[in-house]
Structure 1
């Protein structure tokens, strides 16, 4: 088939009929992410990460190889598995184990000794490509050229796929446009679009020529099927006279419901993307203005602990779903019990409360997943791209948010990959918010405890032995007027010294010119006035427990009360 530019129109409605396949593809992307996450813990593996990573033709990697980079080229031999994430991945050499790749473009011209699992916009298997076992792939365009060999089964989900090579096993496909032009040793099961319901999706710009495949199912003169052909579509397949099908042909027609006329093509993509960008940008501005600590704190958590955020995001979403069900079940059971007790009015109130609580949980989950999570992840990504992880100026924060949201909206526009990106962004963002909220609550509790310790006058601090909270207005000479860490704190002090004012302590002494005998209480005992049980309590609301509010004396000096007249 000729290679020519692909028109750009709206996504295809047939995707609604592929929930199982989409689930498998999402699991594939998550498996690739998890494999790259656990790579350093594998032990027997070599890790490389640069802008350009090249395995030379005479180089042999004896272990598994984990690679991240912009351009990755494997001309040599990898004795184990190859896990790669990058912009462009080219396999010209040999990978003796599995190939797991997530990239914009993946080109295989060499040999993969086991399975190949690829998530990319464009996947090309050249004339010399050889995949010994299964091929599982998702993306925009999947192409196997004549001479390419796949020793196992093929499971693909894409906008378009053209299989011109040899497949020894079965083919299971979900695509808007599928063309079979090679030999297939097993059965073919396909769910495809049709010309009246499918328009061309947004075509990625790569360095690889992307073929144009007509909507629906097409079998060319070079197609050879040793098994059965089973497909679902709005229109029958176009089967060339020279195509050979050894088994039966089973066609199930799908009736497409009429939908409201909406803009199509690039205009529809532009409007949807602009609407999403404006919505998230406004939400992000409000978040940076009204709750900057939460937004910046969650972004910091995401930068420092991304995988913890991912795990807590999955737990939060799953926990919310469980909580919704639990609240509903508890409300129903309580309503039944109250009804049995002839408390019908209270039962109705319980049910109403349960329904309202469920609605609140759903609203919080939707806002967090659809709005706050993309804002947090986009703000974090924009700061990393600007090389300023935590911008100090508000204008630069807005710029980081806009840049991150632009990338997010562009990725969301890619078929299949956009759904995976949305899922990962939701989990990462929700998890970062949960971790930040937990840390903030824990820090708040620690601050309150520290404040109580640093300020003995606060409620609950009397246990430290502060005489201001022991029911007396005067403490011992060694402890009164000092902080909690001062001498004599928490223990009775020795007998007070009486003498000239210049020789007396600065705190806990009687007024100038008074001797111990002139003191209205008499000489104090070592245990202080509390031991004598004769000291009155300080007046309520006084600013200092031992000094009247009208006195102008130094707070460290105590004045005894006037003797009775």
Structure 2
């Protein structure tokens, strides 16, 4: 059972502020690390233009840094990729980690490391061998998506149709779970829907003013625990 459920008293609970502060701190650390890396002397390649395309037959053996209006990776980068662009499309292969800041982001290729996204709208339908960390407005994890590690999400709306090999954590406005989670789910959420196709192998712990809408066909192996927030706004202010 998640520790948050132990803090309930008389039907209400205060969510520790450190949960959200930790997410914000992580975001800041990742941004600063991304900006600092090119100055540290590691082998890398940079691309800057209005439109940057890595063609299907192109292979880059170094880290890749991109600043562009539109970026498409159709080829292969064997090390890490760092991107800042308005529109990002990743149908190709990344041998390391992928770090993206953008407005519209689509990841339908293969990433051998972890993925960190700061974006407006994100769609993932490919395979990620590590963790997926997302800070953004809306996110769709499609039916074909496979994330071997954990999902950490901080955003407005998340639709999970694919497979998560680890845990799901974060703070979300609207969350819909229709896919498979091999670990636990622990969320701060305004509206949570667990559909009949969903499978959660661990427990479901959530903090919300609303009772989750859990379909009868949903398969949740562990306990389901809700910590109810005070209607007067006590807690994190969801």
Does TM-score exceed 0.5, indicating one fold? yes
| 2:178 aligned to which of 177, 181, 198 | 181
Cα distance in 1, alignment partners of residues 166 and 123 from structure 2: 19
Match of 2:90 in 1: 91
Shift of 1:34: 3.6
Distance 1:244 1:220, change over 3 A: same
Match of 1:225 in 2: 200
What is the DSSP-based 3-state SS (H/G/I as helix, E as strand, rest coil) of the residue aligned with 1:236?
Answer: coil
Cα distance in 1, alignment partners of residues 25 and 118 from structure 2: 10
| 1:137 aligned to which of 134, 138, 162 | 134
Cα distance in 1, alignment partners of residues 132 and 150 from structure 2: 6
| 2:144 aligned to which of 132, 144, 147 | 147
Cα distance in 2, alignment partners of residues 18 and 88 from structure 1: 33
Distance 1:164 1:120, change over 3 A: same
Cα distance in 2, alignment partners of residues 59 and 228 from structure 1: 44
Shift of 1:256: 1.9
Query: Which of the pair is proportionally richer in helix?
Result: 1
Shift of 1:41: 3.5
Distance 1:53 1:33, change over 3 A: farther
Cα distance in 1, alignment partners of residues 32 and 87 from structure 2: 17
Q: Unmatched 5+ residue regions in structure 2?
A: 1-14
The question of whether the paired residues in 2 share the 8 Å contact of 1:114 and 1:133 is answered with yes
Match of 1:60 in 2: 59
Question: Any residues of structure 2 matched to 1:252-271 within 5 Å, and which?
Answer: 252-257=227-232
Match of 1:242 in 2: 217
Q: Is residue 2:139 matched to residue 1:164?
A: no
Match of 2:81 in 1: 82
**Alignment length (residue pairs):** 220
| Largest Rg, 1 or 2 | 1
Question: Any residues of structure 2 matched to 1:408-557 within 5 Å, and which?
Answer: none
Please, what is the CA RMSD of the aligned residues? 1.8
Distance 1:258 1:138, change over 3 A: closer
Shift of 1:36: 2.8
Match of 2:7 in 1: none
Distance 1:117 1:258, change over 3 A: closer
Question: Any residues of structure 2 matched to 1:24-43 within 5 Å, and which?
Answer: 24-43=23-42
Cα distance in 1, alignment partners of residues 189 and 129 from structure 2: 27
Distance 1:120 1:249, change over 3 A: same
Cα distance in 2, alignment partners of residues 25 and 161 from structure 1: 18
Superposed CA offset, 1:189-223 (max 9, x none) = 01111xxxxxxxxxxxxxxxxxxxxxx11001110
Match of 1:110 in 2: 109
Cα distance in 2, alignment partners of residues 258 and 43 from structure 1: 48
Match of 1:537 in 2: none
Cα distance in 2, alignment partners of residues 71 and 258 from structure 1: 41
